[in-house]
Amino acid sequence: MWVALSTRTISLRERRPTVILRRLARPLLAATFVYGGINALRSPEGHAEAAEPVVDKTVGKQADALPDAVPTDPVSLVKIDAGVKIAAGTALAFGKFPRLASLALLGSLVPTTVAGHPFWAAENSDERDQQLIHFLKNAGLAGGLLIAAADTHGKPSLGWRAKRAARMASAQVQDAGETVQGTVRDARSKTTHLAGRASKAVESVLPN
C-alpha cells in the first residue's frame, strides 16, 4: 500500500509542471484571438473591406444556392467570425472544452489569414515582406492550436479508447463463446453418461 501511495505521489508531482504550463500557455495563445475579435466587432466595416475579395471568391459564388437565413455579406461574416474568436478564445483561456475551442479558433484563423495577409498579392517587396511576417505569425498560431487540439491531458485518445473497447468486447464475446461451447460439451457428456446408465438399467431388467 505504501508503495502504491508513493508511486501515486510521484506521478502527481510529475504532472504539476504540465498542469501549470497548460494554465499559462492557453491564455497566452487565446489572448490574440479575443483581442482581435473585440477589435473586429468595434469596426467590422474595415475588416469586411479586407475580407471582401475572399468572400466574393468563396461564399459569394454560392450565395444563390444558400438559404436566405445564411448571411453572405462581408460585414455579417466578420461579426460571426469575431464572435467565434471571442467565445472560443475565452473558453480556451479558462480551459473549458480546450480541444474543441482550439479547433474552432483554427477554423477561424485560416480564412482570416488568407484574407488579411495575402503576401502573394503585394505590389512591392516591402509590403510583401510585412504581409509574409504576419502570415508566418498566424501559421505559428495555427501550429500552437493544433498542439492544443491534440492535447489529451495525458489521457488516452478517443481512437485508442475506441480500439481498446472493441478489443475488450471481442474478448468478452470470445469468452462467452468458449463458455457456451464448454457448457454444450458438459451437457453432451452428461447426456451420454445418463444414456449409458439408462441402457444398462434396461438391460438388467430384461430377460436373457
Domain boundaries, the chain: 2-155, 158-208
Tell me, what's the pLDDT at 47?
A: 83
**Between vectors from CA 28 to CA 24 and to CA 34, what angle results, nearest 5°?**
135
Across 7-21, 25-39, 42-56, 183-197, least confident range: 7-21
Tell me the pLDDT band of 121, cut-offs 50, 70 and 90.
confident
Tell me, what's the pLDDT at 13?
A: 54
Tell me, what's the pLDDT at 137?
A: 95
Tell me, what's the pLDDT at 81?
A: 92
Please, what sign has the CA dihedral across residues 152, 154, 159, 161?
negative
Single-letter residue type at 118: P
Instruction: Read off the pLDDT of residues 61-75 as tens digits, 9 standing for 90 and up.
Output: 666 666 766 777 888
- Name the CA radius of gyration of the chain, rounded: 33
- Report d(CA 95, CA 151) in Å as an integer: 12
Average pLDDT over residues 174-186: 69
Give the count of beta carbons closer than 10 Å to the beta carbon of residue 161.
Answer: 12
**110, 142 in Cβ contact below 8 A?**
yes
Tell me the pLDDT band of 2, cut-offs 50, 70 and 90.
very low
Give the count of beta carbons closer than 10 Å to the beta carbon of residue 78.
Answer: 26
Give the count of beta carbons closer than 10 Å to the beta carbon of residue 55.
Answer: 21
Tell me the pLDDT band of 208, cut-offs 50, 70 and 90.
low
